Structure 1
């Protein structure tokens, strides 16, 4: 979903134009300007930009070393993790205000940039520094996306209109910023999708004073106002045409990826006024405040979202709308398909899952929820808290998962910069709902064997606390695959009632407007259980892979009128603490006993009135085990 190595000359000339022509942006070059640019603009910088960009795109640490100060694997570890195939780069020189109130350019950065879908990677910003030994300019540490750089976006006043045939979006946004206490920087930084080019940046309103800025890719540096809380008026536009998300078609459009400024992907509230083409309807996050059809047959709708969220989506199209009033809430489908049965199927499932989640997690925060269909090149489905966007072959099946994101990702926000904990919660919530409907089935032995064999090769590269990029298959497999399995293990460990209570508390008590992580849920679990589950979160969420176990030394003895089975559960390092169900099958039925395996070799003794025919470790697959190398199933023992 991402994307030629640019030549240094146009890149550098763009950066230098914005720097050397600063008077056009409201401030003039100063004699205190960094000697970095003066000494190396015609020599070091071209070499730095060209060489570093080539090395980044080759994913080559050795090739990066000549251009990097410090440990290259520390400063540029991201090049081995990114799913972006080809990076562009540019020189960023932020406007800085001196103590005398005069603007100057005193720092420089190289920005590696490209378009990114939401919930994935972001642009990377590295300082240009002077090497202490030889005085050469090099790339230093990164300002990571997790760093808000002393700023928070608190609110958006967005106005959007589109030229659908040209695939062009036009927007203004009056953004409320707040300087974090004690963290004021010499200048401000925010991020926005590289699709959009800032045309105007003004203080307060469209008629306010022009604010000096420079944009490279999706990074905007600007002269920071003196107030600790201020508003900036942005006017910007861009062509939107991608695969996977963010595109226009003849009868619809979906805009998902950072069409608004943000800092560190932190939650913010918004009012969005959306003007859709004639005969189209628009949908955005929040409560519908007003709607009107204009003289040119376009439609303007305003949505107010008082819940601070990280990710915003705007959909519009020639939808067939079906609405239903349910328990004081309006639920609806916005479909492009001509399928008369689909609206009711979607709304029926939406009602059932909404009831389940409100009963077990807490009240849904909106008075409306919509299922919106897209037929474009959309990668699955995407939550938007008061609605969700569904791609091909996802309806109605994925409604439950996406609806649950209102709780997990919406009210309790997730930034996808450290983990994707909320995807694990959404998958687990979907599973809880399916069980409540009696849809859980014991997996056939052959499929269970294949699943455990596949797990031995999965989840090896990322831990649950660090897998965060949904566009990377290895990371997504951990968030969507391993995560819900581990939550099911936690449920069995603390009991389902306590698990649901912990989820309720997480939802109801988490501080509004702050992104959550696994460690926050760990605190809730400890509180609800009055215990210390550090061991659980450490072994399952801070390790890669899954535990490997097998039966060893199994013996069957006739003792009196019954039988005794002894044996061992052998674990391969690292050792886990596991509650394992051991099932004995006899001619009269099955009996199950749970043991705690917490050593490399854990001995067990089982008793049976009749002769057992088979011993099976965890036949329901409640514990996500992998299998040791070899033929057969080392978790099943058949008695002769």
Structure 2
């Protein structure tokens, strides 16, 4: 399965482009940016012809005009997309209204053209577009499925030349969608008992703002969210300001380091919030549903210790803020490594906290070039769990490795080659991915050299993107070793290789 639009939608897209090209005179010389980036699993995701540098989102969120509650469905638990720590789930509460059902937004998108553009695309699922401008001038807007097609007028043609920076403003509104993944799980805009939470892996961020929603296009963010009191709006980065007027409060969140859209989040609801800082100055912000507060307190108090431990293993923490968002059990059905503060579907245990915080290095700072490279995120985050268990719970890494090795689920396919989009969150990406990391450690046969290698990897690709080929080339260059056999057996091999007793 993939995110290609149906045939009828594809035809509509082609017709829309043809009409734009034929019906507009005096437009920008150049060619339209591609409608997708040909990701191996989501070929229609993302857009070509430009690189986004900054999103400024101004969102106003409120209840629906009626009290009808739309079902949100269940999420299959699987590691990052795992259920609560105790493995249980419960149905979302059914409130008498829908306090975060409607959204009105203005997205200001700053981008650099990578070709001479006559038109370009944005990914947006659902929602009604009220209009768009490019460089302050009205632009033609067409819709074709999840593609929003923007064609500027000739007055701004110089700003869409290759290498130039331009600004697009899109005004939109509506009831954001819950998106069903190829594996049947739910993402996008998930309505909760007292609000909503936006989760974006792999495609869900297009449900609440227009953009270039492929992990290879990272950007900085300013997100201003206005919600009715007593709700709180929590997002990524640092809280810059909070102001209340006429019973509504606006929260301004800023993410100064580049972020892939799939780890952008927005949680709206009744939260107990806490702000502090680690001894080395990382700002901490936690938001916890009151029903989960007591059971979460001890684990969340451990965030500074986990960050300090991880920094020793993986290098300096790559961001200026950290924390967590903890929903009540049943509001979401899986944890996700949203940047700076992961979202948890109820009180997490320490292993899950370690996993999601490790993602701040592996996935959030060093982000995959495509969804085929997801094992680099999950393999290292799972290995972080093994390392923590060895250092704190007297469980040797070899024991964790052996347990994963004996688990048949980890051998369904190679971690670097999930057979379809429905498989990118399955066991081999996690467990066998971690086995690749451990076999590399054994091949190097020097723990100091191994962790120097890992810290060098996170430093080399800090706030960037990297592929599996980038990783294997980096390792061989740094070690001076030909590790073809290791990659063939553990990363790409179809069968379970033997191990020495």
TM range (shorter): 0.7 to 0.9
Per the alignment, residue 62 of structure 1 pairs with none
Per the alignment, residue 219 of structure 1 pairs with 147
Q: Post-superposition shift, 1:284? A: 1.1
Q: Post-superposition shift, 1:341? A: 4.1
Give the whole-Å Cα distance in 1 for the aligned partners of 2:406 and 2:319: 43
Question: Which of 521, 524, 543 is 2:474 aligned to?
Answer: 524
Shift of the 442–498 alpha-carbon distance from structure 1 to 2, 3 Å rule, reads closer
Q: Post-superposition shift, 1:395? A: 4.1
Per the alignment, residue 221 of structure 2 pairs with 270
For residues 99-135 of structure 1, the C-alpha deviation after alignment (integer angstroms, 9 at most, x for no partner) is 972589x99x999xxxxxxx9964x6xxxxxxxxxxx
- Helix, strand or coil: the match of 2:138? coil
Q: Post-superposition shift, 1:443? A: 8.8
Per the alignment, residue 67 of structure 2 pairs with none
- Helix, strand or coil: the match of 2:318? coil
Normalising by structure 2, report the TM-score. 0.75
Give the whole-Å Cα distance in 2 for the aligned partners of 1:97 and 1:325: 57
Q: Post-superposition shift, 1:186? A: 4.3
CA contact (8 A) 1:268 1:309 kept: yes
2:112 matches 1:178: yes
Normalising by structure 1, report the TM-score. 0.60
Per the alignment, residue 371 of structure 2 pairs with 417
Paired residues, number: 430
2:185 matches 1:235: no
For residues 408-463 of structure 1, the C-alpha deviation after alignment (integer angstroms, 9 at most, x for no partner) is 11211225533202111111122222222143158999x969x65652x65344x3
Shift of the 96–263 alpha-carbon distance from structure 1 to 2, 3 Å rule, reads farther
* Greater per-residue helix proportion: 2
Give the whole-Å Cα distance in 1 for the aligned partners of 2:123 and 2:9: 15
Q: Post-superposition shift, 1:83? A: 8.8
Q: How does 1:544-555 map to 2 (within 5 A)?
A: 544-547=494-497, 549=498
Give the whole-Å Cα distance in 1 for the aligned partners of 2:244 and 2:436: 50
* Greater per-residue strand proportion: 1
Per the alignment, residue 362 of structure 2 pairs with 408
Shift of the 369–88 alpha-carbon distance from structure 1 to 2, 3 Å rule, reads farther
CA contact (8 A) 1:252 1:374 kept: no
Identify unmatched segments of 5+ residues in structure 2.
Answer: 64-97, 179-184
- Helix, strand or coil: the match of 1:492? helix
Shift of the 121–216 alpha-carbon distance from structure 1 to 2, 3 Å rule, reads farther
For residues 470-498 of structure 1, the C-alpha deviation after alignment (integer angstroms, 9 at most, x for no partner) is x7247522211210111111111113222
CA contact (8 A) 2:270 2:289 kept: yes
Q: How does 1:25-36 map to 2 (within 5 A)?
A: none
Give the whole-Å Cα distance in 1 for the aligned partners of 2:480 and 2:398: 34
Which structure has more RCO (C-alpha within 8 Å, separation ≥ 6)? 2
Give the whole-Å Cα distance in 1 for the aligned partners of 2:387 and 2:398: 17
Q: How does 1:223-622 map to 2 (within 5 A)?
A: 223=151, 226=157, 227=159, 228=161, 229-240=165-176, 242=178, 244-245=186-187, 246-256=189-199, 257-258=204-205, 259-260=208-209, 261-262=211-212, 264-265=214-215, 266-296=217-247, 298-310=248-260, 311=262, 312-327=264-279, 328-338=281-291, 341-375=294-328, 376-392=330-346, 394-414=348-368, 416-420=370-374, 421-441=376-396, 454-455=407-408, 458-461=410-413, 463-467=414-418, 472-473=422-423, 476-494=426-444, 495-510=446-461, 512=463, 514-547=464-497, 549=498, 580-581=499-500, 617=501
> Pairwise CA RMSD of aligned residues?
3.6
Shift of the 336–88 alpha-carbon distance from structure 1 to 2, 3 Å rule, reads farther
Q: Post-superposition shift, 1:169? A: 1.7
Identify unmatched segments of 5+ residues in structure 1.
Answer: 1-80, 112-118, 125-143, 550-579, 582-616, 618-640
Shift of the 440–169 alpha-carbon distance from structure 1 to 2, 3 Å rule, reads same
2:103 matches 1:169: yes
Q: Post-superposition shift, 1:406? A: 1.1
For residues 549-580 of structure 1, the C-alpha deviation after alignment (integer angstroms, 9 at most, x for no partner) is 4xxxxxxxxxxxxxxxxxxxxxxxxxxxxxx4
Per the alignment, residue 196 of structure 1 pairs with 127
Give the whole-Å Cα distance in 2 for the aligned partners of 1:388 and 1:110: 30
Q: Post-superposition shift, 1:88? A: 7.5
Give the whole-Å Cα distance in 2 for the aligned partners of 1:458 and 1:531: 27
